[in-house]
């Protein structure tokens, strides 16, 4: 059984950790917003040189899936002749390796 002093110490520790966590989240969000104001995703894509032209199929990449709705449109604005088309994988389970094997068409 914990005594009152131990309970008080535990509660203060928990509150302190919560405040530190919230401050860290605030700093991370502010830094992210600041970077987005300085550099848009399009700014980063403009730095990529020798982008091929063509229609490129991709699919199944579990890494790209959560961000493709945000990133693909910006990529199309900066490199309009580099077309991406998402397809569900025909053979195998979703994954980056499956997506790489899908290749490209012109």
Same domain, yes or no, for 46 and 28? Answer: no
The domain of 97 spans 40-106
The answer to whether the beta carbons of residues 59 and 99 sit under 8 Å apart is yes
Same domain, yes or no, for 77 and 105? Answer: yes
The answer to whether the beta carbons of residues 60 and 99 sit under 8 Å apart is yes
> What are the strands of the beta sheet with 82-86, ordered from one edge?
82-86, 54-58, 104-105
- What pLDDT is stored for residue 106 in this prediction? 44
Confidence bin at 36 (pLDDT 50/70/90) = low
Same domain, yes or no, for 46 and 4? Answer: no
Same domain, yes or no, for 49 and 87? Answer: yes
Please enumerate in sequence order all residues whose Cβ is within 8 A of that of 63, keeping only pairs 6 or more positions apart, or say none. Answer: 96
- What pLDDT is stored for residue 3 in this prediction? 76
Same domain, yes or no, for 101 and 56? Answer: yes
* pLDDT tops 50 at residue 26: yes
Whole-prediction pTM: 0.49
Give the percent of the chain with pLDDT over 90. Answer: 0
* pLDDT tops 70 at residue 43: yes
Query: How far is Cα 46 from Cα 1, in angstroms, rounded to an integer?
Result: 63
Count up the domains in the chain and report the number.
Answer: 2
């Amino acid at each position: 059984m914990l005594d009152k002093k131990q309970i008080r110490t535990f509660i203060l520790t928990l509150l302190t950790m919560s405040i530190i966590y919230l401050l860290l989240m605030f700093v991370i969000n502010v830094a992210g917003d600041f970077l987005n104001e300085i550099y848009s995703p399009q700014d980063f894509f403009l730095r990529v040189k020798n982008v091929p032209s063509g229609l490129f199929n991709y699919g199944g990449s579990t890494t790209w899936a959560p961000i493709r709705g945000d990133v693909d449109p910006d990529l199309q604005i900066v490199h309009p002749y580099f077309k991406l088309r998402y397809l569900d994988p025909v053979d195998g389970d979703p994954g980056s390796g499956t997506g790489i094997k899908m290749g490209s068409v012109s």
